[in-house]
Amino acid sequence: MTENEEKKLCAEALIISGVKPEKCMKCGKCSGACPSYDEMEYHPHQFVDMVSKGQIKKLMESASIYKCLSCFVCVERCPRNVMPANIIEAVRALQERPQGTDRLTPDEVKNILDDDTPQQLLMAAFRKYSR
Amino acid sequence: MEYDYYPGCTLKNKASHLDICARKAAEKLGAAMTEIPEWQCCGGVYPMAGNETAQKLPAVRALNEAKSRGRDLLCVCSACYHVLKSVNYDMANNATVITKANTYLENDPWYKGETRVLHYLEMLRDDIGFEKVKKCVEKPLTGKKIASYYGCLLLRPSKIMKFDNPENPSVMESLIKALGGEPVIDPFRNECCGGYVSAEDTELTEKKVRDIVESVKAHGGEMIVTACPLCMYNLKKYGDLPVKYFTELICEAFGIEVLEDD
Amino acid sequence: MQMIAEKIKEKIKELTENGKISRVMGWKKGLYGYDSEPFVFENGDLRDFTYDAFSGANLCKYMIAQSKNDGDGKILVLLKPCDTWGFELLDKEHRIKRENIYALGIPCGGMVDIEKIKKSGVKGITEISEKEDTLILKTMYGEKEVNKKDYLLDKCLVCSSKEYKDCDELFMTDLCGDTAEYDRFEEVEKLEKLSSSEKFEFWRSQLEKCIRCNACRNVCPACSCVKCVFDNDNSGVAAKANANDFEENLFHIIRAFHVCGRCVDCGECSRVCPQNIPLHLLNRKYIKDIKELYGDEDEAALLTFTTEDKEPSVVYERGKNNV
Amino acid sequence: MQRIGVFVCWCGSNIAATVDVKKVAEELKSEPGVVYSADYQYMCSENGQNLIKSAIKDYSLTGIVVCSCSPRMHEATFRKTASEAGINPYMVEIANIREQCSWIHKDMATATQKAIILGRAAVAKVNLNTPLTEGESPVVKRALVIGGGIAGIQTALDIADAGYKVDIVEKKPTIGGKMAQLDKTFPTLDCAACILTPKMVEAAQHENITLYTYSEVEEVKGYVGNFDVKIRKKARYVNENLCTGCGECTSKCPSRKGLNEFNMGLDGRGAIYIPFAQAIPNVPVIDTAQCIKFKTGKCGLCQMNCPSKAVDFSQKDEFIDEKYGAIVVATGFDIITLENYEEYGYSMYKDVVTSLEFERLMNAAGPSKGHLERPSDHKQPKTIVFVQCVGSRDTTGCGKEYCSKICCMYTAKHAMLTREKYPDTEVYVFYIDVRTPGKNFDEFYRRAVEQYGVHYIKGMVGKVYDDGQGHLMVRGSDLLANEQLTIKADMVVLAAATKADESARKLGTMLTASMDTNDFFTEAHPKLRPVESPTAGVFLSGFCQGPKDIPETVAQAGAAAAKVIGLLAKNKLKSNPCVARADSLICSGCSNCEKVCPFGAITYAETDVNDGTVREKRRVAVVNEAVCKGCGACTVACPSGAMDLKGFTNKQIFAEVDAICRQTGE
Amino acid sequence: MQTDRGVTAEKEFQPKIIAFCCNWCSYAGADLAGSGRLSYSADVKIIRVPCSCRINPMFILRAFQKGADGVILAGCHPGDCHYSTGNYFTRRRMTLLFSMLDYMGIEKERTRVEWISAAEGAKFSATMNEFAGEIKKLGRSKRLGDLRCR
């Protein structure tokens, strides 16, 4: 990925997420609240920061994008309306866009199935982990 | 009181009890729930990205359907509620989504977020009132220490959901009180259970559930009540406390018997 | 409608007998059944009272003169939903003495434009009566029935609200017809999309027709100045003070600006214009702009501001899409 | 018809080198109304002025046009000249042919042509000028200070010392304000009570100061120099003149359920109470919502026990009408409520407190007599977490968008004091930024870190919860360590955002003093007139204008006093005559002009109107010329043209427009 | 460009431009442009008003009526008004008025609002030059004069 391509992807991430990173005052409340913090290599505030700096590649390649629970705690508690979850979602969407990058394939689904697995989980997992 | 009802896939299947109990309790409370015709799956998660209008269309259809009948749209499943309410917010505020969705669906007149989406718990609190709920109780849950677990989807983002105080909610506690039980306030009631990540990282979910369940125990809770099928799944799978849907709890207190395979 | 008119009459009698009102501002039958006009009924004499499909006139503005004297007792004024907006404005701007008025909100199912009927080729009308949504036209050449809905006044075609403002009592108002489904800004949007020269040609051809009869000004509830700036010798724009034709040329632009943010979009200006100039399109443009630029505010748009308001250059930016 | 003289100045070569001044004078001579024209090297010189004076006499001139430098330079000069020669100074207009013409154009023909046009516009205007007279109004030599905190007290003392009468109106039963509740003050750590109470006493005893405590401003009328104010003195049910402040009543009151406001509700008080020991006046007040006598009619123990018969259950609110020349707003601040920040658990956990509550917990006169203990179990906390920016710098609408300014410093103070008194206590401070721009401020903060070992963590707390065993768990991020941490604490202190006092908004409307969206009063100029409100005669002191610490507040209080003294020292106020004027014959009384007036200069009066044909009483606009500053906003809001601006009338501006647009040579 | 100056002067379009300037900021800015000898088009003639909020739309319309080719309003920057709020009203009034003129087919480029402080002499001259250039490109204003009733 060239630097230019990376910049373009960042711009796209900002557009589809509707996030304006310049509103962020770097207080870290999002990361202070995130329930997946320890599972993530890059944390919510870093997503905001790095995308605004044009460094999306590392984020796309990191497993962090699959650790976000979309629990909206960061969105809820951000004092500046930055919406970190939305930008994580956008990075994930950009990562999963090309063919063959699905995190979850139909074959793998049976691994997670048990008698009680609710449809909601399947729907959500498909939406979050594949194109 | 008449409502259009959006059950959602999970309630038609694995979480059928959540649905059945909701209907039976509503009957007793004098609220009519009419399932809207030909509803489609809401998608399970709200499409957050700005370029995902197509994924919002099933929700828009349901919302517009309710509008055409002039009724409020009732949900019981947390996820459906979250998706429908979020999409409804877009349909009232986001010009791009409004235009795209209406054009695609050929809505005439345009749907612009007119429908009121409400959760069964909101119906109990705002439309029916817990006083009335109290009157329907036949077998009060006296002495039961019940911790309510809200999860994420009902509460957040509060700007859109406007469901309850997102950090200190009270609707389920009020319900438990009305049913004669003793609400236990667990500070993790609005923390995530691990959600759909259980599909790929069971460890994370396990940890989250453990935190929640341990906290409930530490605060003296003996049982957890929830509104979300996915929370139920995770809490049950990784936790060791009894978990019930809030509608099951209502039926229990109302003395309505619901069979296991009902 | 006849039924409603009768009920209103009864209501008036009741209010008169209770001593609540002394006079009534209503509509009086004309010669042909389609030419009812505003009239003050006194001494309980309601012989020629009517309320029919041609009672489109907004009576609120008469209240300026009618409510002036404290000694005259209360006057009852009959207000259709859209009439009440102007009424509220007059009250807000202290143009009427509200305490001398009894405002009765009455139902409206849309008013008919006689010009539209005439234009459709019906000639020699001698009498019109109504039966639900049907108008029975008696002409010198026989009887004809038409659907009322096909001949509604333009303002009724975009009827946007059945809300009554500032009334003392609502009477049978649940009989109101539905609001219209037309988007009232559609015409404005169409004009906005024209090229600059097309817009100019449109307005020139329209405004050329103006004969300066002042009917629009006289009927407008927002045009309630004791003395209009165009009649004010000292204003520097009045006709008498200047040999040039300044006021003639720009009368409508200035009038629109003066009512900007205050216009209640009652559509009366266009209804009364003998030359059929679509004057409401000027006012409605301002309403649309205000909505788009400033959103909904309690105060009239030009009497308030926010520090984050758009710069005037927004007009150039918005204009970029259409050449 | 005017008789106008035109005087074209060369300004040495400044004008004459690029503008053919002779031609300008010649051309303007043929303009309507012009009877004389001349040019001269330096019109502003004594000779030049004499030239104008003699022309006025010789040609019986009624109006003057000077084509010269900018009116901002010499308009006043030429007005004076005209006045000395016996014509009204406002009959002078300047055509700016230097800054706007000769200095910026090189081509003589172009510049000359432009100068002629500018001259024509000025002539056209003068033709419509009318003589104007400056208004005069007397000044009442008494000031009102609203708010009896440190800001109000300081302002009142300074004004009183200068020899003017001052009244302080304070809505609470005692003066002292927020500062009285504080323990120590940063950065010197002197005790707040020790420096404040002497000032409170001084204010109470000053011969020029009258205190109205437990009182509120009810109505304000009038304008600069002449305000009419109605003050409501709420019934305290204790006669201030009889009461000796012995406190017998307060100890006998059987009701103990009241929350002690002074201690932030951390302990209780009786229904009849004195807010705190050093309260001024030292007179109790009865809380009628709590008082058994008022609720049931029975009791009256306080009355029975009062040795001086001062308790009076039948007391009624009193109204005082007073005239003032100036009003100082010193309404101060409050802190926001925290229902939008439940993630910090304020309403769920007793041991989560606000900084102001912590202040009382540390205070020797506080509920725990200065021994720091947790409200829940009265145990001394071993780990305390301070959270900054709770509700400050928040753009979501939950809190306040601004920086509250004082929290960084008082949090450092709290942390430092805690560590000093209880060295075995661990203290953590979560911060977004530490802002210490003030004398000795950063040194103070560094001392907390370096000397007292306070742990400062760059990051924000995401959630506070309890572990079910009496501990508060504080989860937050440490951005510098790039980790999320959870601190097991005994107590959490929230630096809740400040806000303008609730009484400010109502008062702002009463005074027609403008406010920003945060309900802070706006200053007349943010840099150059920071203690004046745009409304003449209204001054600002302290937090009511924006977040401020004590030294800044006192400085502003003094500055406001200086401005008030400057105003009260005058016997008469002269006002700009170029102000708005309403034509009562045309005015419809619609109130549009009133709504856009930034100074509240427009009121309405039922007036007899007689235009020859109609005679009636009408509601018409009246401009208070002493208050109007002449911006002209009202003239455009007025659709009928009833409102016009003297010196810049519609007709005059039209005439200028017409003159400029006239074809050359027409 | 023609060489014969006389002919050029005859033929070259000399627009009439009126600049309404508020006394406290923009008029002072113009003075500063003058004392800094920062030249701008001689076609611009300034009318002094106490505040931009004194400018009645009628003045602008009147100018066009009388043959002006461009009208520019200059006032203090929002927030800096000498009368605290005057220019906020100006901003709304002119936004709506300009939008209306555009709606009626009158070239919106002929009207403009600029915020110029007392310190911005250079901005004053640059703005006036640019505006005058724009008006020159547009040519003589006709439309407003033609938009009349009989």
Residues of chain B with CATH 3.40.50: 128-254
Q: What is the pLDDT of residue A23?
A: 95
What is the per-residue pLDDT across B100-153, written as a single tens digit (0 to 9) for each?
999 899 988 899 999 999 999 999 999 999 999 999 999 999 999 999 999 999
| All structural domains of chain A with their residue ranges | 3-97, 102-131
Partner residue opposite E104 with nearest CB, options C200, C212, C248: C200
pLDDT band at residue C144 using 50, 70 and 90 as cut-offs: confident
Q: What is the mean pLDDT of residues A54-66?
A: 94
Name the pLDDT band for D257 (thresholds 50, 70, 90). confident
Q: Is some CB atom of chain D closer than 8 A to the CB atom of C297?
A: no
Nearest to C87 by CA among C165, C172, C12: C165
D592 and C300: CB-CB below 8 Å? Answer: yes
* Interface membership of A113 toward B (CB under 8 Å): no
The band of C241, judged by pLDDT with boundaries at 50, 70 and 90, is: very low
Total structural domains within chain D:
5
D472-478 and D483-489 strand pairing: antiparallel
CB contact under 8 A, D462 and A79: no
pLDDT category at C237 given cuts 50, 70, 90 is low
Instruction: Kindly state whether residue D124 falls inside one of the protein's structural domains.
Output: yes
- Supply D418's token pair: 């805690």
> CA D537 to CA D553: how far, in whole Å?
20
Q: Which residue of D has its CA nearest to B159?
A: D396
Task: Give yes or no for residue C238 having a pLDDT over 70.
Answer: no
CA gyration radius for chain E?
16
pLDDT value for D106: 93
Listed range (B208-222, C6-20, D4-18) with the worst mean pLDDT: C6-20
Is D582 inside a domain boundary?
yes
Instruction: Tell me if C94 and D596 make a contact (CB, 8 A cut-off).
Output: no
Q: Do D648 and E54 touch (CB under 8 A)?
A: yes
What's the confidence (pLDDT) of residue D70?
Answer: 93
Pairing of strands E44-49, E17-22: parallel
Interface test with A, best of D484, D485, D486, D494 (most A CBs within 10 A): D484
Name which residue leads in pLDDT, C209 or D41: D41
C185 in contact with E at a CB cutoff of 8 Å?
no
Q: Check pLDDT > 60 for residue D468.
A: yes
- B128-254: what CATH class? alpha beta
| Min Cα–Cα distance to chain B from D147, Å | 35
Q: What is the pLDDT of residue C1?
A: 66
Please, which residues 22-51 of chain E have a Cβ atom closer than 8 Å to chain C? none
Give the E-state strand segments of B70-144 in sequence order: 72-75, 117-119
Question: Token digits for E44?
Answer: 């611009």
Interface list for D 25-44 with E (CB within 8 A): none
Q: Quick check: E150 and C208 CB within 8 A?
A: yes
C299: closest chain D residue by CA: D595
The reply to whether E77 touches chain D by the CB within 8 Å rule is no
Per residue in D100-110, pLDDT (tens digit) is: 999 999 999 99
Cβ neighbours of E85 in D, within 8 Å? 514, 596, 598, 633
pLDDT bin (cut points 50, 70, 90) of residue D393 is: very high
List chain C residues with CB under 8 Å of E91: 305, 309-312
User: Is the same domain home to D472 and D354?
Assistant: yes
Kindly provide the residue ranges of all beta strands, DSSP E only, lying in D184-325, ordered along the sequence: 184-185, 190-191, 209-212, 215-223, 226-233, 258-259, 268-269, 272-273, 285-286, 318-324
Q: C286 and E100 in contact by Cβ < 8 A?
A: yes
Does the beta-carbon distance from B218 to D343 stay under 8 Å? no
Question: Mean pLDDT throughout D522-550?
Answer: 91
Flag whether residue E137 sits within 8 Å of chain C, measured between CB atoms.
Answer: no
Kindly report the nearest CA distance between residue D641 and chain E, in angstroms. 10
Whether residue D449 sits in one domain with residue D364? yes
pLDDT per 10-residue tile (average), chain B, 262 residues: 92 90 94 92 86 88 92 94 95 89 90 94 96 95 96 95 95 97 96 90 93 96 95 94 96 88 53
Mean pLDDT, chain D, whole residue set: 94
Instruction: Average pLDDT across each block of 10 residues of chain E; the chain has 150 residues. List them in order.
Output: 42 88 93 94 96 95 89 91 89 94 88 92 95 92 62
For residue D436, what are the contacts with CB-CB under 8 A and spacing of at least 6? Answer: D408, D409, D412, D442, D444, D445
Q: What share of chain B is helix, strand, coil (3-state, %, to 5)?
A: 50, 10, 40
Chains E and D touch (3+ CB pairs under 8 A): yes
B69 touches chain D (CB under 8 A): no
In chain E, residues with a C-beta closer than 8 Å to the C-beta of C211 are 149-150
In words, the CATH class of domain B2-120 is mainly alpha
Residue of C nearest to D614 (CA): C226
d(CA C194, CA C187): 11
Taking the Cβ of residue D484 and every Cβ of chain A, the question of whether any pair is shorter than 8 Å is answered with yes
In this prediction, residue D396 carries a pLDDT of 94
A120 Cα to chain B: minimum distance (Å): 5
Task: Give which of D103, D12, D115 is closest to D67, Cα–Cα.
Answer: D115
Q: Is the pTM of this model over 0.80?
A: no
- In the prediction, which pLDDT does C183 show? 81
Neighbours of chain D (3+ CB pairs under 8 A): A, B, C, E
Query: Hey, what are D613's tokens?
Result: 């044909």
Tokens of A76: 């809820």
pLDDT at C246 over 70: no
| Interchain pair B13, A112: CB under 8 A | no
Claim to verify: residue D448 and residue D346 sit in the same structural domain: yes
Q: Supply the pLDDT for residue A55.
A: 94
Q: Which residues contact B89 (CB under 8 A, 6 or more apart)?
A: B113, B160
> What pLDDT does D663 receive?
65
Quote the pLDDT of residue E82: 82
**Nearest-5° Cα angle at E91, D583 to C250:** 60
| Contact exists between E and B (3 or more beta carbon pairs < 8 Å) | no
Looking at the fold, whether D270 and D382 belong to one and the same domain comes out as no
The mean of the pLDDT values for chain C is 86
Q: Which segments of C193-278 does DSSP mark as H helices, in order?
A: 196-207, 215-219, 246-259, 268-272
Task: Please report the domains of chain E, with CATH numbers, ordered by start residue.
Answer: 15-143 (3.40.50)
Q: Which of A31, A46, A83 to mutate to test the interface with D (most CBs of D within 10 A)?
A: A31
Residue type, position B32, single letter: A
CATH number for the domain harbouring residue D323: 3.50.50.60
pLDDT of residue A67: 93
Chain B residues closer than 8 Å to A70 by CB: 45, 48, 152, 195-196
Residues from chain E that touch D514, judged by Cβ atoms under 8 A, are 84-85
What pLDDT shows up at residue D611? Answer: 77
Domain assignment present for residue D651? The answer is no
Task: Determine, for residues C210 and E94 on separate chains, whether the beta-carbon distance falls below 8 Å.
Answer: no
Name chain D contacts of B167, Cβ cutoff 8 Å: 341-343
pLDDT score at C58: 92
All residues of chain C having their beta carbon less than 8 Å from the beta carbon of residue D590 are: 93-95, 224-225
Q: pLDDT tens for residues D182-221?
A: 999 999 999 999 999 999 999 999 999 999 999 999 999 8
CA–CA min distance D666, chain C (Å): 16
Residue D609 lies in domain: 576-646
Residues of C in contact with E146 (CB under 8 A): 204
CATH code of the domain made up of A3-97: 1.10.1060.10
The pair of structure tokens assigned to A7 is 């910049």
Q: Do D640 and C236 touch (CB under 8 A)?
A: no
pLDDT at D535 over 90: no
A and C interact (at least 3 Cβ pairs within 8 A): no
Spell out a b/e string for C85-111, using b for 16 or more CB atoms within 10 Å of the CB, else e.
bbbbbbbbbebbbbebbbbbbbbbbbb
**What tokens were used for B244?**
């019930």
Q: Distance from CA of residue D46 to its chain's centroid?
A: 44
